[in-house]
């Protein structure tokens, strides 16, 4: 314990839960966020000050902001958790090229560049973990969320391929693929729509962000060292 974790996307519901869980487990955090600074302040108020090494704001839709984040990583990074993302709802034929570019930047290009920057030191140390929070839609796709499904599927492929490349360096690479989780990302659903989704889930409820955070913490522990290149589904059997 006591190692440093870069948490990309710390201000979201899942990201905030991950931050609090890892801080309670003894990790030191580098917190990235784009918007919702108030959630970063909530994290600060709930964890010991020594657990937060630094906070970096960067809009990962923009290449300059990605470079800004990378340039500010002055602390050693032992683990990386990618929990950032943005949803996009709409028919594929109505999706603009600008929206496509932004979704690719946030979910694919930014993780590529950040990981590429941090890998040399992790490889030298022959230790570390990389964890992505992807989505059930990256596995099975969703009508009305074609672009989001595509970039989450790309994250899953990246995890599987990178795991094969980094296994000899003792760096674990895995993804957590959540199903229906109670977060603001699902707030666009009406109550009727929410209940319809829940009726399809064998456990008959939505998941909560803390359940995702618990799995992240487990993947960073030594006890999970033989879990590698996996897309772990946490979806109540949906």
Architecture of 4-234 per CATH? 3-Layer(aba) Sandwich (3.40)
Q: How far is 217 from 26, CA to CA, in rounded Å?
A: 10
Secondary structure of 83-144 in HEC code, one letter for each residue: CCCCCCCCCHHHCCHHHHHHHHHHHHHHHHHHHHHHHHHHHHHCCCEEEEECCCHHHHCCCC
What number is the average pLDDT over the span 135-160?
Answer: 94
Q: Using one digit for the tens of pLDDT, what is the confidence trace for 15-50?
A: 999 999 999 999 999 999 998 999 999 999 999 999
The candidate with the shortest Cα–Cα distance to 31, out of 1, 71, 4, is 4
What number is the average pLDDT over the span 155-183?
Answer: 96
Considering 27, 33, 148, 226, which one is annotated as catalytic?
A: 148
- pLDDT for the residue numbered 2: 58
Kindly state the tokens that stand for 119. 């890998």
Q: Using one digit for the tens of pLDDT, what is the confidence trace for 102-147?
A: 999 999 999 999 999 999 999 999 999 999 999 999 998 898 899 9
- pLDDT for the residue numbered 33: 96
Torsion angle in degrees (nearest 10) through CA of 205, 143, 102, 173? 60
| Residue 88 is a catalytic residue | no
Q: What percentage of the chain carries pLDDT values higher than 70?
A: 98
For the beta carbon of residue 101, count every other beta carbon within 10 angstroms.
Answer: 12
Q: How far is 75 from 73, CA to CA, in rounded Å?
A: 6
């Amino acid at each position: 314990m006591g190692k440093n974790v870069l948490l990309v996307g710390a201000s979201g519901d899942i990201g905030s839960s991950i931050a609090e869980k890892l801080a309670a487990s003894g990790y030191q955090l580098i917190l990235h966020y784009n918007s919702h600074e108030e959630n970063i302040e909530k994290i600060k108020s709930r964890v010991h000050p020594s657990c937060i090494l630094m906070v970096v704001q960067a809009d990962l839709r923009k290449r300059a902001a990605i470079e800004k984040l990378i340039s500010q990583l002055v602390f050693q990074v032992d683990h990386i958790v990618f929990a950032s993302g943005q949803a996009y709802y709409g028919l594929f034929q109505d999706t603009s090229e600008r929206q496509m570019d932004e979704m690719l930047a946030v979910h694919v290009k930014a993780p590529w560049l950040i990981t590429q920057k941090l890998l040399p030191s992790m490889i030298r140390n022959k230790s570390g973990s990389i964890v992505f929070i992807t989505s059930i839609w990256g596995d099975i796709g969703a009508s009305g969320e074609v672009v989001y499904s595509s970039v989450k599927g790309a994250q899953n492929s990246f995890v599987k391929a990178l795991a094969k490349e980094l296994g000899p360096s003792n760096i674990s690479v895995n993804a957590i693929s959540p199903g229906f989780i109670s977060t603001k990302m699902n707030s666009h659903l009406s109550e009727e729509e929410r209940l319809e989704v829940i009726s399809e889930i064998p456990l008959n409820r939505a998941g909560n962000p803390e359940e995702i955070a618990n799995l992240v913490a487990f993947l960073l522990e030594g006890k999970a060292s033989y879990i590698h290149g996996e897309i772990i589904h946490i979806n109540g059997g949906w």
